Chain A
Amino acid sequence: MDYALMQRVFPFFLEAAWITIVLSVLTAILGLTCAMLGTAARLSRFRMLRFIGATYVSVFRGTPALIQLFILYFGGPQIGIQLDAFEAGVIGLGVNVGAYMTETMRGAIISVDKGQGEAARTLGMSKWQAMRNVILPQAMRLMIRPLGVNLNTLIKSTALVAAISVVELTYTAQRYIGSTYKPFEMFLIAGLLYMIIIYVVGLAVTWADRKARLN
Chain B
Amino acid sequence: MNAQKPFIDIRHAKKSFGTLEVLKDINLQVDRGQIVAIIGPSGSGKSTLLRAINDLDPLSGGEIWLEDKQINMDLPHRQYERHINEVRQEIGMVFQHFNLFPHLKVRENVTLAPKMLKGLSDAEANALAEEQLTKVGMIERIDYYPSQLSGGQKQRVAIARALAMKPKVMLFDEATSALDPELVEEVNLVMKQLAEEHMTMIIVTHEMGFAESVCDRVLFMDQGVVVEEGPPEVIFRNPKSERTQNFLRKHLAGNQA
Contacts and interface: CB of A to CB of B under 8 A. Distances in A.
B81 to A, nearest CB: 6
A107 to B, nearest CB: 18
A118 B116 contact: no
Given A124-B88, A129-B116, 17 more contacts: A45-B77, A113-B99, A118-B56, A119-B99, A119-B100, A119-B101, A122-B54, A122-B56, A122-B91, A122-B92, A122-B93, A123-B113, A123-B161, A126-B81, A138-B101, A141-B103, A215-B103
Contact of B117 (A124, A134, A141): A124
Contacts of A215: 103
Given A118-B95, A119-B101, A127 B81 contact: yes
Nearest to A124: B89
B95 A138 contact: no
A77 to B, nearest CB: 44
Given A121-B88, A126-B85, A115 B97 contact: yes
19 contacts: A113-B99, A115-B95, A116-B99, A118-B95, A119-B99, A119-B100, A119-B158, A122-B93, A123-B89, A123-B112, A124-B88, A125-B113, A126-B81, A129-B116, A129-B117, A134-B112, A138-B101, A141-B103, A215-B103
A116 B97 contact: no
Q: Which of A45, A119, A137, A141 has the most CB of B within 10 A?
A: A119
A125 B117 CA distance: 7
A138 B101 CA distance: 9
A157 to B, nearest CB: 33
A180 interface: no
Contacts of B161: 123
Nearest to A118: B56
A165 interface: no
Nearest to B164: A123
B103 A118 contact: no
Interface in A121-160: 121-127, 129, 133-134, 137-138, 141
A153 B89 CA distance: 46
B102 interface: yes
Given A122-B91, A122-B93, A129-B116, A115 B99 contact: yes
Interface of B: 54, 56, 77, 81, 85-86, 88-89, 91-93, 95, 97, 99-103, 112-113, 116-117, 158, 161-162, 165
Q: Which of B77, B85, B89, B91 has the most CB of A within 10 A?
A: B85
Contacts of A124: 85-86, 88-89, 113, 117, 165
A138 B146 CA distance: 14
A197 B18 CA distance: 53
B2 to A, nearest CB: 31
> Which of the four size classes fits the interface of chain A?
20 to 34
Interface of A: 45, 113, 115-116, 118-127, 129, 133-134, 137-138, 141, 215
Nearest to A122: B93
A137 B88 CA distance: 23
Nearest to A140: B103
A120 B139 CA distance: 22
Closest 4 CB pairs of A and B: A124-B89, A119-B99, A123-B113, A115-B99
Contact of B116 (A115, A122, A133, A138): A133
B113 A118 contact: no
Contacts of B100: 119
Given A124-B88, A124-B117, A133-B116, A119 B102 contact: no
A209 B212 CA distance: 50
B101 A134 contact: yes
A116 to B, nearest CB: 6
A134 B95 CA distance: 16
Contacts of B158: 119
A125 B112 CA distance: 10
Contacts of B113: 120, 123-125
Contacts of A118: 56, 95, 99
A124 to B, nearest CB: 4
Q: Which of B81, B116, B117 has the most CB of A within 10 A?
A: B116
A50 to B, nearest CB: 16
